């Protein structure tokens, strides 16, 4: 099979390695074309024996995926087009999450925004060791909220309060914090990647049919949500009026999506993400933030 932005490599062990290398970009970013390639992989992998683990990796020298293609996002001037862009990504990531195989995000360096959402769509997240590791959802710094399921996936991985801190501040975390929170399930050393990969493949093949690492239950999320209003003072700085207006709106939108997902389920939460995202992205101040954060080609 041939793809525009990725390639599939079959490891001698039987594992499948999916290397993401977005064409004509210095770093990996997500767009409709990339999602189309991932959709083809999903269709192909759906026919593959579930005993074969699938590793999603970066083919770039630096980083995993740094988020959405902001240039593409700025081209979308109509709310309906923005909604289609978000829904396409949500559908692709949900389909990836539903593969029966052990899917693994083999994260090198940075996984930010949509990159972390893609990693969270995998059953396991293994992160490289070293000072360049950054895992985060920085959308709030742009005056936006995650649009590909981040407000739903992050709480279900690390719990309500830890996820809310990451979402509302937009600050990334490092390798040690990711392990402590349960965001990362393990680490690997970049200077011995090949043997580390083989070791993890063997470990996952031995774990076939066993339970996943402990994740927060729905009841636990609901309990944390119930305590939120009681413990509002510690959050007052994040929800107060000490930040720019567009940042405050984004934080309130994040809360709306997180709450909806806990109360009504993940699909309702993803619908709320798109509903909240579309009005925000057209704000001139948000557009100015997008210009400043635009990565070089």
Q: Is the pLDDT reported for residue 297 higher than 60? A: no
User: How do 186-188 and 124-128 pair as beta strands?
Assistant: parallel
Angle 150-158/245-264 helices, nearest 10 degrees? Answer: 60
Q: What residues are annotated to the active site?
A: 117, 139
pTM over 0.75, yes/no: yes
Which residue has 């090198």 as its token pair? Answer: 108
- 137 within 8 A of 113, measured Cβ to Cβ: yes
Instruction: Express each pLDDT in 176-205 by its tens digit.
Output: 999 999 999 999 999 999 999 999 998 887
Full domain range(s) for residue 51? 6-206+214-293
Instruction: Express each pLDDT in 114-153 by its tens digit.
Output: 999 999 999 999 999 988 999 999 999 999 999 999 999 9
Helix (H, G, I), strand (E, B) or coil at 52: coil
User: What is the spatial distance between Cα 128 and Cα 107, in angstroms, rounded to a whole number?
Assistant: 6
57 domain-assigned: yes
129 domain-assigned: yes
Which residue has 């965001």 as its token pair? Answer: 183
159 domain-assigned: yes
1 domain-assigned: no
239 vs 255, higher pLDDT: 255
274: CATH: 3.90.226.10
- 249 within 8 A of 286, measured Cβ to Cβ: no
Total domain count, the chain: 1
- 250 within 8 A of 278, measured Cβ to Cβ: no
52 domain-assigned: yes
Q: What's the confidence (pLDDT) of residue 52?
A: 86
Confidence of residue 293 (pLDDT cuts 50, 70, 90): confident
DSSP conformation class of 31: -
């Amino acid at each position: 099979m041939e793809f525009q932005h990725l390639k599939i490599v079959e490891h001698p062990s039987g594992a499948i390695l999916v290397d993401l290398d977005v064409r004509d970009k210095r770093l990996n970013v997500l767009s409709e074309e990339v999602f189309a390639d991932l959709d083809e992989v999903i269709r192909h992998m759906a026919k593959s024996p579930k005993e074969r683990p699938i590793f999603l990796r970066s083919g770039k020298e630096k980083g995993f995926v740094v988020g959405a293609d902001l240039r593409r996002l700025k081209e979308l001037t109509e709310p309906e087009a923005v909604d289609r862009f978000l829904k396409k990504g949500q559908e692709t990531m949900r389909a990836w999450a539903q593969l029966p195989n052990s899917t693994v995000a083999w994260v090198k360096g940075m996984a930010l925004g949509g990159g972390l959402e893609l990693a969270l769509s995998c059953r396991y997240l293994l992160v490289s060791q070293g000072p360049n590791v950054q895992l985060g959802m920085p959308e709030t710094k742009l005056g936006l909220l995650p649009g590909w399921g981040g407000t739903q996936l992050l709480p279900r991985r690390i719990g309500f309060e830890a996820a809310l801190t990451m979402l509302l501040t937009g600050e990334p975390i490092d390798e040690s914090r990711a392990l402590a929170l349960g965001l990362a399930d393990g680490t690997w050393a970049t200077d011995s990647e090949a043997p580390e990969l083989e070791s993890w493949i063997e470990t996952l093949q031995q774990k076939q049919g066993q339970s996943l690492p402990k994740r927060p239950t729905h009841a636990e999320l609901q309990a944390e949500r119930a305590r939120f209003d009681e413990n509002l003072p510690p959050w007052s700085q994040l929800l107060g009026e000490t930040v720019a207006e567009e940042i405050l709106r984004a934080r309130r939108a994040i809360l709306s999506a997180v709450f909806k997902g806990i109360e009504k389920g993940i699909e309702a939460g993803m619908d709320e993400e798109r509903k909240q995202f579309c009005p925000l992205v057209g704000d001139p101040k948000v557009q100015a933030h997008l210009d400043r954060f635009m990565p070089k080609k």
